Amino acid sequence: MAARPEPPNPAGKRGALRWMAGLRLVGTYAVAAAAGYAASRLHVPLPWMLGPLFVCGLLNVSGVPLQAGPHLREIGQVIVGLAIGMRFTPHLLLVSLELLPAMLVATLYIIIATFIGALIMRPLARIDPTTAFFATAAGGMADMAVVAAARGGDTNAVSIVHALRVTTVVSIVPFMVFAFGETGNVNTVDPTASHDLLLLGLGLVIAYLGAQALRPTVIPNPWLLGSLLPSAVLGATGLLNVAVPGLLIIAAQVMIGVWLSLRFRRDLFVRLPRVAASGLLIGVLLILAAALGAEALSLATGLPLTTSFLALAPAAITEMVLTAKAMHADAELVTAFHIVRIAVISSTILIVFRVYRFVLRSQYDSGV
């Protein structure tokens, strides 16, 4: 009598899948760490973020199964938020208030640059006006995709253009800054900061709780801004002054670099090649616009060119702040410029969208 086949074991299959996922996770970060180390030995700027970004991004597009850890990017942003917040002082807050008019003008310049980018993007990528506008807007990737979807835009196209813009800026700007900018003289390590691990743990918990408090709000990038704001209050008032170890900053860069690398999905490049190519071109044009604007901003305010360039760079705040720290530039002022940019764009994006549609209608009516 033939033996009956063993019934399938769902629990065993689930266990095997969990093991495979765990191995992919460990393998991904092992490759990322090795890429970061290699980049650091080659003196690549921001090596622990750009190394994982380039290597893991290439592997992901090639079809190698990679996996990012749940919430690791967010934890990386909390670490960066605490590190920057601890550097805020009453003097810096006063300087930021004095520069507020310049920050508002810089934000208006960014809005105009991305507005023009949308007008170029629409015929270049052959996409609808709504998708073109939100794909080039200087807001967060997830936020712009959601708003675009609510107005009939293509969320996949919006996502891939934002991913390409951020990655292009993150990949090119540090090299431009290191090649043409001047290294600043800002000391990134406060000699008076405490190295007590218990105080560091307290700071991380407060920063994490601040990020959690901001999550339900409409404010973009809550993990960075939510952790930065309470840290800045504690730092400026002197209630807490703790040093964030360099190893934690390296870990944060690796976490963020891996997350960025996995935004590159092979299927999107295959399905939307024209959109991807157009997004890459728009990213380069926005970098050039930021470089030109930085010259004017430095002349008007006396800020170092490196600080002005990073303040205007059309990328996520986290990456530009990390670049500023690596260049010993004023990362806190760069942060302040980006916070004003985020606040203004988040509150005016739909107004600017109406202006954009009015301009398009005027073009159609005039036969342009």
pLDDT digits (tens, 9 = 90+) for 37-60: 999 999 887 889 889 988 998 999
Q: How many folded domains does the chain comprise?
A: 1
CATH assignment of the domain containing 95? 1.20.1530
Residue 209 structure tokens: 């709780």
Give a yes or no: residue 198 inside a domain: yes
Give a yes or no: residue 24 inside a domain: no
Tens-digit pLDDT profile for residues 303-334: 999 899 999 988 777 778 888 887 778 888 99
Give a yes or no: residue 5 inside a domain: no
What is the pLDDT, as a whole number, of residue 251? 95
Tens-digit pLDDT profile for residues 162-221: 878 877 887 888 788 777 666 555 555 566 778 889 999 999 999 999 999 998 887 767
Give a yes or no: residue 170 inside a domain: yes
Give a yes or no: residue 87 inside a domain: yes
What is the pLDDT, as a whole number, of residue 78? 94
Give a yes or no: residue 25 inside a domain: no
Give a yes or no: residue 17 inside a domain: no
CA 28 to chain centroid: 20
Task: Calculate the alpha carbon distances from 197 to 76, 205, 227 in Å.
Answer: 18, 12, 18
Range of the domain at 274: 48-59+68-366
What are the start-end ranges of the H helices in the chain? 10-41, 47-61, 72-85, 90-98, 100-125, 129-136, 141-150, 155-180, 197-214, 222-237, 246-261, 266-271, 273-301, 305-312, 317-326, 331-366
Give a yes or no: residue 304 inside a domain: yes
What is the pLDDT, as a whole number, of residue 72? 92
